[in-house]
Amino acid sequence: MKQKIAFAMIMGVITTGIISFSLVSINIGFVANFLVIWLKSWIMAYTIVIPVILLVGPRVQKMVETLFKDAVTQELDE
C-alpha cells in the first residue's frame, strides 16, 4: 500500500505540475504574478488528483489487464 501511495503522490506532482503550468501559461500568459497563480492552481489540482489516482487507479489497472489478457488470448488462438 505504501508503494501505491508513493506512486500516486509522485505521479500527482509530475502530471499536475505539467498540466497546470501548461494551462495557466496558455490561458493567462506569463504575467507578473504567474508563479503565484500557477502554484495555487498546482496545489488545487494536486489535492484533487491524489484521491482520484488512489480510487480510480486500481480500476483502470484491472481494465487494462483485462484488455491485454484478451489480446494475448487472441494471439495464442491464431
Distance in angstroms (rounded) separating the CA atoms of residues 23 and 6: 25
**Which pLDDT score, from 0 to 100, does residue 78 have?**
60
Regarding predicted confidence, which is higher, 24 or 1?
24
Q: What is the DSSP string of 45-63?
A: HHHHHHHHHHHHHHHHHHH
What's the predicted TM-score (pTM) here? 0.70
> Cell digits for 74?
487472441
Q: Residue 12: exposed, middle, or buried by beta-carbon count in 10 A (0-12, 13-18, 19+)?
A: buried
Q: The domain containing residue 45 runs over which residues?
A: 2-77
Q: Which residues contact 7 (CB under 8 A, 6 or more apart)?
A: 53
**Which pLDDT score, from 0 to 100, does residue 69 have?**
81
* Structural domain count, the chain: 1
The model's pLDDT over 19-65, given as tens digits with 9 standing for 90+, comes to 999 999 999 999 999 999 999 999 999 999 988 888 998 899 899 88
Regarding predicted confidence, which is higher, 34 or 78?
34
